[in-house]
Structure 1
Amino acid sequence: MGPELTVPPFFSPIPPAIHPRHAAIDARTTAWAHSMGIGTDELRARLVSHDIGTFSAMILPEGREEVVSLLSDFVLWLFGVDDGCCEESDLGHRPGELVAVLHRLLRIAQNPEIPLLTEDPLAIGVRDLRARISRHGTHGQTARWIDALREYFFSVAWEAEHRRAGTVPDLNDYTLMRLYDGATTVVLPLLEMAHGYELQPHERDSPATRAAAEMASYVITWDNDLLSHHKESRSTGYWLNVLRVLEHHHGLTPDAALTTAVAQRDRVMCLFLRLRRAMAATASPQLRRYLDSLAHFIRGSQEWGISSLRYTTPHDPARLPTFFTETPTDGSDAPLDIPVITWWWELPQLAAAAADETVVALAHRAPVVPAAVPAEALAV
């Protein structure tokens, strides 16, 4: 059993929001999970108790209801893959076999008409999801969803190799793996679909937009690691999160690892907020909407994480926060010492915004009034 840790309140100045139809969305996802037969009876019963519809409704509080429901069903399906095939299955210790299973599911997502795994619940589920993705999204958004699904599958296979070997990746590799195995990137195309727009390539594929999405993924997955530590560290099998990485490779105590991880996510949260503000000044209405959706994704993940039975575990209560704070533990603008993400701090938008803030600050400074000069000092 892992150590008892008290997770402090998260720094999150993003306002909370939720779709008004969240209860109906959650009920539909429960019905969908049963109709698809996702997971074992025990796993499915657990998943439908996690308020995943509420989670989706927090991510897309103003989205089209049918897409919010699609996202909710998709998240439950992802948990069916992650819990059922990876973390709680022998398959999660056999990366080669896991890759084969995931590639078959990927092929079905690419070509749902092929006669493959016709009786498999996860395959049936992904066929249904792909049909709805195609209905509500463009060809480009559907292609990006499939590409992101490939990224997710690739990363969970990487994690499975560590699980098989019982090894712990270093912080740099863990960060890179976590940007994808949290399945955050697979959600991104649905942020556009829910509001009926498609980002233009020059905006969506720009380094700044990519960085904003990666920062959101980082904060979401670091928060998830903190919230899930209690549950995972009490499992009998292999578990992996940022706290274990920091303890293993940096020799930190559990409390010190917690403090370090919180400071890391706070610094990235501050960076995300600065970048979002800088980008919004010149962004199209669609890109501003996308940036707002990333912010809702962060806050929704936090709100759901501190309240869902998935992490609160009432039978063995976790010490999770019940409120948020507007003060970061680390607001530094210096890059974190994690090479795979240091490029975020080098974005020209951040440098330009910092320069603009300096100019504004100087302009609002009180004028310097020279001291009076005695008349006798002026005498020649």
Structure 2
Amino acid sequence: MAVTFIDHATVPPLQVSLPPRYCPLPVRRHAEAEALNRRAADWINAFGLCIAGSPRTRMIGNDCGGFYGRILPDAPADRLQLAVDWCVLMFTLDDVHCDEGPASMRPDSFADLAARIVRLLEAPGAAMSAGGDPFLAATADLAARAHALGTPTQLRRVADAHRGWYLGVLWEFGCRLRDRTPCLNDYAHLRQHTAAGAATMSWTELIDGEQIPARELDAPAVRALSELALTVAAFDDDLFSYGKERWLAARTTRPSRCRLNLPDILAAEQALSPQQGLAAAVTLCNRLTLRFLQLRERVLPAASAPLRRYVEHLSCLIPGNLAWGLRAGRYRNPDGGHPDAVRTTLAFTQTAPPTGPPPIASIAWWWDPCL
């Protein structure tokens, strides 16, 4: 395991090699992933977004059809298109309004836009004084399509999931403005929200077409299973984006002291080297994956058909996100202008990690014996 900086002439300047990742779940892919990507590109271009240059390169490199196509590999393509279009739009929103450049220090602008997006998801016809904002126009189109597919309960779940996501993003803004790396205990339970975990999975219910009974979806064991899968995927995203963040920081005159990724937080809190922080992050992902598998076996026997499909999507999310993230241009081409500037390699192992909860109080309930 090593992090190596190389002169950026004709070869990638940054290579990140990760220790073995425990994930015995199979990877599947939707047969129409590329067609989904093409239609999503045409859709977002129609709103004047990602038409050319670096934004278009980054949009195409995100491979949203491949991302959602690994979560729902058997979904009807016409229904799955809704989620892929949303994914393209929200990655673009993240790049423009959340993570990078001056916008990453403007919570006021983000909060205003986020509030309008949520309201449009609740009521597509609401007059939100969009003022020609292409993000709001695209959201209104998505919301209208969603309302044609979903039940009132499903649509409320979508809107509520976005509120959770945007609250997490605003927490990240606070960390950046204070120029402070958060503690592991806070980051561990908030990362599923900052990564839009519930928002991502909320579309699966509309695509499947059947509503999951609240008594099942809100049951503690199912909530723990959801949080486990979403957190594992988000922590894996931290492994993919680690090299990207290093690459960008090396080209910034005044890099922030705020670190919002799992390896750096572990390294800061436990006085580890960067390599040891990466190893500790992979070890934690492995332990969470094992707990997901254990808890899944408790949930499935009594699950209804809609809940079983949801659990299957969670089971596809973890390995599918790994397969997608290791290849996605989002992480390999940090600024849209340097293809393969970052390469992350990851081996896999069938050896299970130790059982039992890690010493992180905010997520320890996932191991509650009463679940």
TM-score, length-normalised on structure 1?
A: 0.86
Partner in structure 2 of residue 270 of structure 1:
290
- Given that 2:19 and 2:279 are in contact with CA atoms closer than 8 Å, whether structure 1 keeps it comes out as no
One-letter amino acid of the counterpart of residue 287, structure 2: R
Partner in structure 2 of residue 319 of structure 1:
344
Q: Secondary structure in 2 aligned to 1:319?
A: strand
Partner in structure 1 of residue 208 of structure 2:
195
- Offset at 1:347? 4.2
Name the CA distance, whole Å, in 1 between partners of 2:130 and 2:351.
50
Pick the structure with more strand per residue.
Answer: 2
Alignment of 1:178-217 (within 5 A): 178-217=191-230
Name the CA distance, whole Å, in 2 between partners of 1:142 and 1:326.
39
Q: Secondary structure in 1 aligned to 2:343?
A: coil
Match status 1:161 vs 2:174: yes
One-letter amino acid of the counterpart of residue 129, structure 1: L
- Offset at 1:245? 0.8
Deviations 1:85-119 (A, max 9, x none): 01124232122332223222222222322332141
- Given that 1:222 and 1:242 are in contact with CA atoms closer than 8 Å, whether structure 2 keeps it comes out as yes
Match status 1:126 vs 2:151: no
Partner in structure 2 of residue 71 of structure 1:
83
Number of aligned residues: 345
TM-score, length-normalised on structure 2?
A: 0.88
Alignment of 1:141-152 (within 5 A): 141-152=154-165
For residues 142 and 53 of structure 1, do their structure 2 counterparts lie closer, same or farther at Cα, with a shift above 3 Å needed? same
Match status 1:21 vs 2:32: yes
Q: Secondary structure in 2 aligned to 1:320?
A: strand
One-letter amino acid of the counterpart of residue 272, structure 2: L
Alignment of 1:1-380 (within 5 A): 3-4=3-4, 5-38=16-49, 41=52, 42-115=54-127, 116-235=129-248, 236=252, 237-238=255-256, 239-313=259-333, 314-321=339-346, 324-328=348-352, 331-349=353-371
Partner in structure 1 of residue 8 of structure 2:
none
One-letter amino acid of the counterpart of residue 36, structure 1: F
- Offset at 1:169? 0.3
- Given that 1:43 and 1:84 are in contact with CA atoms closer than 8 Å, whether structure 2 keeps it comes out as no
Q: Secondary structure in 2 aligned to 1:324?
A: strand
- Offset at 1:326? 2.4
Deviations 1:202-258 (A, max 9, x none): 101000111111000111011110111000122135452011111222211111111
Q: Secondary structure in 1 aligned to 2:351?
A: coil
- Offset at 1:39? 5.5
Name the CA distance, whole Å, in 2 between partners of 1:335 and 1:315.
37
Which ranges in structure 2 are unaligned for 5 or more consecutive residues? 5-15, 334-338
Give the fraction of aligned pairs with identical amino acids, expressed as a percent.
Answer: 31
- Given that 2:332 and 2:342 are in contact with CA atoms closer than 8 Å, whether structure 1 keeps it comes out as yes
- Given that 2:118 and 2:162 are in contact with CA atoms closer than 8 Å, whether structure 1 keeps it comes out as yes
- Given that 2:122 and 2:155 are in contact with CA atoms closer than 8 Å, whether structure 1 keeps it comes out as no
- Given that 1:68 and 1:194 are in contact with CA atoms closer than 8 Å, whether structure 2 keeps it comes out as yes
- Offset at 1:148? 0.6
- Given that 2:217 and 2:223 are in contact with CA atoms closer than 8 Å, whether structure 1 keeps it comes out as yes
Deviations 1:268-326 (A, max 9, x none): 100000111111122222222211110111121111011112223344232322x5332
Partner in structure 1 of residue 12 of structure 2:
none
- Offset at 1:62? 0.9
For residues 33 and 8 of structure 1, do their structure 2 counterparts lie closer, same or farther at Cα, with a shift above 3 Å needed? farther
